[in-house]
């Protein structure tokens, strides 16, 4: 009898050990899956932090430009005009300056017969007109001499 009871006890112990091994395997799988989820979350957080940094840089640039625009709108002092070395081919408002700059970049400079570049003097006049809403409208004009 003692041998049968000892065999039963041994079998129960073996079953218990096998159950514990399975439980440990399950726990290890859960830990590995959890670790993978942490790595994915860390990657997502790093990506989001990079996006936030880029948005913050853009926001600072927009705020800087807004402050510059406000300062230029509120400016009532003298305007310094200088000779522009390139011919202006567009007359318009400051809002159209980007188009003029693009067009000026495409215009070729005339050359004379002896391959010297013809010099042109461009006088830039800025005329301010006051509108009823107290905004300022600037116009560019050019004169080639």
| Domain with 38 in it | 1-75
Mean pLDDT, to the nearest integer, of 55-79? Answer: 87
60 and 11 within one domain: yes
Both structure tokens of 44: 């997502």
Q: For residue 135, give both structure tokens.
A: 């905004």
From 19, 46, 75, the end of a domain falls on 75
Cβ contact 12:18 at 8 Å: no
Together in a domain, 66 and 115: no
DSSP 28: H
Same domain, 104 and 59: no
Whole-prediction pTM value? Answer: 0.40
Strand, helix or coil for residue 140: strand
Of the candidates 92, 145, 94, the residue with the CA atom closest to the CA atom of residue 122: 145
pLDDT at 24 over 90: yes
- The number of distinct structural domains making up the chain is 2
| Chain segment 66-77, per-residue pLDDT in tens | 998 888 888 777
- The answer as to whether 88 is a domain residue is no
């Amino acid at each position: 009898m003692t041998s049968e009871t000892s065999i039963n006890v041994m079998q129960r112990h073996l079953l218990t050990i096998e159950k514990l091994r399975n439980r440990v395997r399950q726990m290890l799988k859960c830990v590995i899956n959890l670790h993978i989820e942490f790595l994915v979350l860390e990657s997502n957080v790093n990506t989001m932090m990079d996006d936030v940094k880029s948005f913050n840089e853009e926001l600072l640039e927009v705020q800087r430009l807004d402050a510059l625009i406000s300062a230029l709108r509120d400016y009532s002092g003298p305007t310094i005009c200088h000779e522009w070395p390139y011919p202006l081919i567009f007359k318009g408002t400051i809002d159209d300056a980007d188009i003029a700059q693009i067009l000026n970049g495409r215009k070729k400079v005339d050359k004379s017969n002896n391959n010297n570049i013809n010099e042109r003097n461009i006088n830039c006049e800025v005329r301010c007109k006051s509108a009823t809403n107290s905004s300022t409208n600037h116009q560019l004009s050019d004169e080639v001499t």
